[in-house]
Amino acid sequence: MTPPDAPSGAEAHFRSLESLYAAAPINARFPSRLTIPAPGQSRIAFTLDEGHFHAAGAVHGTAYFKMLDDAAFYAANSLVSDRFLLTTAFNLLFTRPLGPGPVVAEGRWVSGQRRVLIAEARLIDAGGEEAARGTGTFMRSRIALAGLPGYRA
């Protein structure tokens, strides 16, 4: 029996996606927290340190891609409650270097809801400045969300 204060419908799906994100092994390397405030939106708070740097002393592009892809992905998957999405393409634009500290990735669904969805994301540094932005294309997979470790339906 479901407790009376337990989320249901879209809210339950959003909380389950947040749990799925937290359970992903890759996120042990990227201290972060996903929140899905509304359909088609996501927000991921990251903390970057020198362990994310390239040889010239700024955050490596892999961290930019990870943050942007995740934010866009979860914004899109918030609209799909039965299947895990797959990233099929992603374009990103670096606008300023990131150093250590907090960064927020904001994701937003742009279009599509059947087989292919398009979402975008941007990185905001601690000073409120945009550091990067990206756009991704995501396709429904055959992988059921309910069968994934961490997804609590």
Domain ranges for the chain: 9-147
The predicted model gives 95-120 an average pLDDT of: 95
Q: Burial, 49: exposed, middle or buried (Cβ in 10 Å; 0-12, 13-18, 19+)?
A: exposed
pLDDT for position 29: 87
SS3 69: helix
Q: What is the mean pLDDT of the chain?
A: 93
Once rounded to an integer, what is the mean pLDDT over residues 52-72? 95
Categorize the per-residue pLDDT at 25 as very low, low, confident or very high, splitting at 50, 70 and 90: very high
Q: Could you say which architecture CATH assigns to the domain 9-147?
A: Roll (3.10)
* Mean of pLDDT values over 41-50: 96
pLDDT at 3 over 50: no
- Please give the model's pTM, rounded to 2 decimal places: 0.92
Which long-range contacts link 45-49 to residues 24+ away (Cβ below 8 Å)? 45/102, 45/103, 45/104, 46/102, 46/103, 46/104, 46/105, 47/101, 47/102, 47/103, 48/98, 48/99, 48/100, 48/101, 48/102, 48/103, 49/100
Confidence bin at 114 (pLDDT 50/70/90): confident
Is the predicted pLDDT of residue 95 greater than 90, yes or no? yes
